[in-house]
Structure 1
């Protein structure tokens, strides 16, 4: 009897270990692949040996090929053994899954086809509409009409200036020119590169009524209108509305309990861009100028002037944007340097320290708009000044948003305007970053090239975009396997087997318990939002205010390198951001194919 009880107790102790040792995790891009893509699954297990796999057609249940996985001899995150299963030779269209031949572990069903990514850029725009401040079509409500009361400006402090509109930054309800200028310009560049790939399903307010204008331009116009308000005179620029006094728990936008001195749900502070350090309490910014904000905003306005003149036949709005582009660029020339975000009582803010890349982009777009050679000469000067030192792609770490935006789109904009030697210089800047990240990718089993700092997914979509633009500039397609590895991580080829976009793919594993008021208070799941993404364990352990609210469903696959949680309490990895989502639109549109 004693022996029987002892055996039973030993079974209770060791059964979980045995079960854990037997698990085989198969990680693929849940959304799927284009027929010509490199297609590689990552497998990992605590067992030292791996089974053969079969690729099976999900509809006919017929085996397509057998695959013998190859061992990955790299840093074994989490103490797992890793393998790769390459099925790139399969180009036939359909729905498939991978299954291990003995234990019958299987992957989610995924698609191979030309239309795998079709129209998902529209899904991202759905999330952008949900971030709107002013009239919000997702909630059918109006909020923050009293934005804002000015500080640090040439007008007396607390003077009312109409800064309503724009986009809420993330799960919070702040508004930043830092992120909104980039989001607007990125959206416009995506449209200009792929004008035939966007739908018209909503009107300017985001209501489900077609208006004859592609929805991407309706969204860009929402950003442009706010940028105009933030630049009320040729020599004036505001850079932020509200601050961390916003962070008083989850709240519905039109019931904002934050108090900036005029009572709850009332006026919010509007910070004027002086180019000097700002802050109302102990955490001061380190601003040196305004060229980062003025440059990005000027690039957006120049792009808009061309598009509204040529494609939308609206010369009045085009002329307004043209004049704003010129005055913003002149403001950047007069105050070269960077304006950072402001905090009130928290140590976190947007720490941008670059600006030459933004002025390069602005000057290139203004040359395209005006044909004035001074702009072209200055764009080239700024390109050389920005070089690769302004890029996170050639560094191993950076502070939060220190090297923002996470891709220099000015290099691509300028490339078509210069001689062959300068073209090679610009291509080399992108190539240096690609090679550096590729070398980093060689050290980990998922072949990922980014440092896992806060908002790592923004880095990843930017790296994907950089490879896409480098291919277009140089014709060099040799980095396609690296490109697809970075993209596939975003849709499930990662330790947690999850997409990093809410609601994509339909029926897949994706973020649900996101750090947003609309989910917490209304249970609202809005598709298309890119969450911050995995963060290094070291950074995660040193952040304040992180408390998981539910058991970690990914506990068995967490590792000592990077962590991710689908949990409302983890604002560091599971908060969808406006600029992160906007920054993925060009990437998503590129893979979408013809509409």
Structure 2
């Protein structure tokens, strides 16, 4: 939201910026500067095998109901646990350290001109978190609990991103540490290309496209640090070529794998990368491909559905979202996962949960006849596989739509 609302958008959006600042205030509460502790999650995602407690995904309810919930096994709904990324002062999982540092450093860039004192506070927070990143003997990355919810393997792109944003923020604030962070970003970009590149495109798990683009930006502002800009541009193009090759063999020109998780955010990610590549190189060869991926997400797909709720002539109508469903309030702008592997629906959708309002009312799957190529889309509140919206999905879309 900071990228889209204030830094890269041609028309800064004050409401979006306000929302971004609200989120940053929350994120700041998750960092205890005194004890050097980063907290990563509030609440338990799901219950345990022994069934002695349930989690947030297990009970369909409004959040205010938790305060008075004394049912057996609901103790972690009423009293939500807070999880930390590491013990106080200990090394933080590099993916979290890099991304969290990037958020505060980006905020420092946005605030540098109008509120330099606030910007410097954000820069120091970013620097402290980044300095605590674990960079050796990295094994199980910390994401969310349980790890199965969002299992991640990439982390060098996150360290590249954090260092690039720190360098840009320091350049804006005339901080002498800028060159050191620029060198760090170049190092981690090289490590990413050596160990992690080639398998994925911009999405929740791989943010190298953002990192490469901003490293190029930082390198242009200080040419005394040798940065392999040519290699960064080449890797942006290589990521786009992954999508281009898929699209060439798909009747609807899809660059994402729609028989797998996160097809829609991957499509938005490809659209964003096309613009990042154009801005970095001046080369417009991927413009049409990027526009095609946006078209695919907004309805030019086998199901004829816009996967952004409330946008387009025929958008997703039954998102798997507790509050929206219970209070019957539309989630305009929310992005759902979209089509997924047909195998995930082999056992059906199951019954409606307690307090869940059936949607569609008659339970009819009006897109069933379009199932094919190993993929299925179901617009049903029970369908977490295809109809669950997520912040990370929407965040990629917001940036992809930045003019």
Q: TM-score, normalised by structure 2?
A: 0.82
CA contact (8 A) 2:308 2:333 kept: yes
How big is the shift at 1:334? 6.1
User: Which is further off, 258-267 or 369-378?
Assistant: 258-267
The answer to whether 1:197 aligns with 2:11 is: yes
Match of 1:517 among 314, 322, 325: 322
TM-fit CA distance, 1:545? 5.7
Give the 3 Å change call, closer, same or farther, for CA 466–267 of structure 1 in structure 2. Answer: same
Structure 2 CA distance for aligned equivalents of residues 461 and 191 of structure 1: 17
Alpha-carbon distance between aligned partners in 1 of 2:347 and 2:295, rounded to the nearest angstrom: 29
Residue 357 of structure 1: how far off its partner (Å)? 0.8
CA distance in 2, matches of 1:336, 1:302: 26
Contiguous gaps of at least 5 residues in structure 1: 1-186, 200-213, 276-287, 591-595
Q: Cα distance 1:509–1:341, how it changes in 2: closer, same or farther (>3 A)? A: same
2-structure distance, mates of 1:485, 1:195? 21
2:341 paired residue among 511, 517, 536? 536
For residue 558 of structure 1, the aligned residue among 367, 371, 377 is: 371
Whether the 8 Å contact between 1:565 and 1:574 is mirrored in structure 2 is yes
Q: Please give the alpha-carbon distance, in whole angstroms, between the structure 2 residues aligned to 1:378 and 1:191.
A: 27
Deviation at 1:258, TM superposition (A): 9.0
Is the CA contact 2:271–2:293 (under 8 Å) kept in the aligned structure 1? yes
Which structure 2 residues correspond to residues 106-185 of structure 1 after superposition, within 5 A? none
Cα displacement (A) at 1:241: 1.3
Gaps of 5+ in 2: 47-54, 172-176, 353-358
Residue matched to 2:122: 321
Instruction: Note the C-alpha offset of 1:336.
Output: 7.4
> How many pairs are equivalent?
365
Shift of 1:248: 2.8
Take 1:260 and 1:268, find their aligned partners in 2: how far apart are those partners?
Answer: 15
In structure 2, the residue matched to 1:571 is 384
Distance 1:581-1:476 versus aligned 2 partners, 3 A rule: same
| Candidates 231, 236, 244, aligned match of 2:37 | 236
CA distance in 2, matches of 1:526, 1:289: 34
The SS at the match of 1:378 is: helix
Q: Report 1:24-423 matches (<5 A).
A: 187-199=1-13, 214-233=14-33, 235-243=36-44, 244=46, 245-256=55-66, 257=69, 263=75, 266-274=78-86, 290-310=93-113, 313-332=114-133, 337=138, 338-343=141-146, 348-371=148-171, 372=177, 373-387=179-193, 390=196, 394=199, 404-405=205-206, 408-418=209-219, 422-423=228-229
Tell me by how many angstroms 1:333 deviates. 5.0
- C-alpha contact 2:349 2:383 (8 A) present in aligned 1: no
- Alignment equivalent of 1:431, drawn from 226, 233, 237: 237
| Alpha carbons of structure 1 residues 370 and 405: separation in structure 2 relative to 1, 3 Å | same
Q: Distance in 1 between matches of 2:9 and 2:292?
A: 27
**1:464 matched residue in structure 2:** 271
SS in 1 for 2:401: helix
For residue 513 of structure 1, report the CA deviation from its aligned partner: 1.1
Q: Is the 8 A contact 1:274 1:289 kept in 2?
A: yes
Change over 3 Å in CA distance of 1:196–1:484 after alignment to 2? closer
Tell me how far apart the structure 2 counterparts of residues 433 and 439 of structure 1 sit (CA, whole Å): 10
Root-mean-square deviation (CA, aligned residues, Å) is: 2.8
Matched-pair contact (CA < 8 Å) for 2:30–2:39: yes
Question: In 2 relative to 1, CA 289–260 (structure 1 residues): closer, same or farther, beyond 3 Å?
Answer: farther
Partner SS, residue 132 of structure 2: helix
SS of 1:237 mapped into structure 2: strand
Structure 1 SS opposite 2:365: coil
Structure with greater strand share of residues: 1
Residues 532/394 of structure 1: CA separation in 2 closer, same or farther (3 Å cut): same
Q: Which has the higher contact order (CA 8 A, sep 6+)?
A: 1
In the other structure, the counterpart of 2:396 is: 583
Taking a change above 3 Å as real, the CA distance of residues 445 and 260 of structure 1, as seen in their structure-2 partners, is: farther
